[in-house]
Structure 1
């Protein structure tokens, strides 16, 4: 089983329906902050189920939702297919988009599941698809010194604030025996120091690398924002 197989199948990465709802609501809120104008064309690459995508779409001109897992794309089309501003695409369809047509690309909680070579290829694609002056936001990046225990503690804190603490506690116990834990042990998760990811962004042609607040509930992970030169 690969990471793509994992996300394409049934999994319990969210400990309850409330956890999933609050997670996607928070991600949408964080994403909207970076939309440069009401008419902007935005790509959410690795969007997952994107439950609050309609709110993101209302804040921009067009929203591309990119997901590698076919079953997730079908869910997205079933939920958002009638909304004119939302287009559901595969990674291959992103690669086929016209160049210099996107104003914002967001990749949240994605690059930890990619090899460095895969990330380098994606950075080149995103750079080509962004219009001059467009922005790339890479969010929820895991530093090498953040442990699974820290992630677990942050989930419990999120559960306490969000009213699903007991479900979060039970979910952490289930994770010990889950495919996610087995895949993490087999493949690991890609981690980056701020310097290393900044260097990769600049090598791909991006400039003005910044560190805004992280997306989501875990402040121990990182978000980077960089621009395609105007």
Structure 2
């Protein structure tokens, strides 16, 4: 959490960040069930394309555990009637049983399996009957940093920020993120394990394609509140 609250270099440039969030918004919008739906982006990050998502739903809740991220989002969307930025601890009981769609994208890899179970339980309580949970960017066993580098360079070449990507990779080599990834690691799941966790949390679940974002080596899942 200290890392996410710092001035990190996860995105090598503004262009990288905006291309990433534009693709996430496209994926997200495809799952919004109706124009008046209440939707929640859990672990939203900078969410630079949030207004695009908000235009397709009734209320958009942007939730992130990093205080610095929430402060930026709250200032950016101050006065908006559609976009709210609650802290995770403010969701319940205010929104219990009221949310139609929850998206958790690129989050589970940073949680322990026990923390992931707690998050799924929270999501189950927040969803309305028949509400839908989409979990995306789940890392399978065997995925490694070499493949991540190749994915970033391919994305950069297609979207016009290759030089920034090369410079960013050099900076990342010495960054706290690489050190954290090497010492703490990332949580990884097989398809069967992830489906089992969702069923145990009270969902009916299935594998979802495509995955959110540009990395189709990673997995996505769709789950309904039973």
5+ residue gaps in structure 2? none
- 2:62 corresponds to: 65
SS at match of 2:206: strand
Give the corresponding residue for 1:94. Answer: 91
Question: Offset at 1:5?
Answer: 0.9
Q: Aligned match of 2:22 in 12, 21, 25?
A: 25
Give the C-alpha shift of residue 176 in structure 1. Answer: 1.1
For normalisation by structure 2, the TM-score amounts to 0.98
How far does the alpha carbon of each residue in 1:83-109 deviate from its partner, in whole angstroms, 9 at most, with x for none? Answer: 100110111112333321000000111
User: Aligned with 1:201: secondary structure?
Assistant: helix
Does the 8 Å CA contact 1:212/1:225 hold for their aligned counterparts? no
Q: Specify the alignment match of 1:223 in structure 2.
A: 220
**Does the Cα contact within 8 Å between 2:191 and 2:207 map onto a contact in 1?**
no
How many angstroms apart in 2 are the aligned matches of 1:164 and 1:22?
10
Gaps of 5+ in 1: none
Residue 204 of structure 1 is matched in structure 2 by 201
* 1:84 corresponding residue in structure 2: 81
Using the alignment, how far apart are the partners of 1:53 and 1:73 within structure 2?
13
Deviation of residue 62 (structure 1)?
0.3
What SS class does the counterpart of residue 8 from structure 1 fall into? coil
Counterpart pick for 2:39 among 35, 39, 42? 42
Given the alignment of the two structures, is residue 167 of structure 1 paired with residue 154 of structure 2, yes or no? no
- SS of 1:6's equivalent in the other structure is coil
The TM-score, its normalising length taken from structure 1, stands at: 0.96
Please point out which of 35, 50, 55 is paired with 1:53.
50
Give CA deviations for 1:9-67 in whole Å, capped at 9, x if unaligned. Answer: 11011001100111111111110101000010001000001001011011000000001
Corresponding residue for 1:191?
188
Residue 182 in structure 1 maps to residue 182 in structure 2? no
Counterpart of 1:7 (choices 4, 27, 45) is 4
Cα RMSD of the aligned pairs, angstroms, is 0.9
Q: Deviations over 1:116-160 (max 9, x none)?
A: 111101101100110111100011110011111111100000000
Equivalence for 2:146 = 149
Looking at structure 2, the residues matched to 176 and 167 of structure 1 have their Cα atoms a distance apart, in angstroms, of 14
Per-residue deviation at 1:175?
Answer: 1.2
**Which residue in the other structure is 1:135 paired with?**
132
The separation in 2 between residues aligned to 1:81 and 1:75, in whole angstroms, is: 10
Offset of 1:170 from its aligned partner? 1.6
Provide the secondary structure at the position in 1 that maps to 2:2: helix
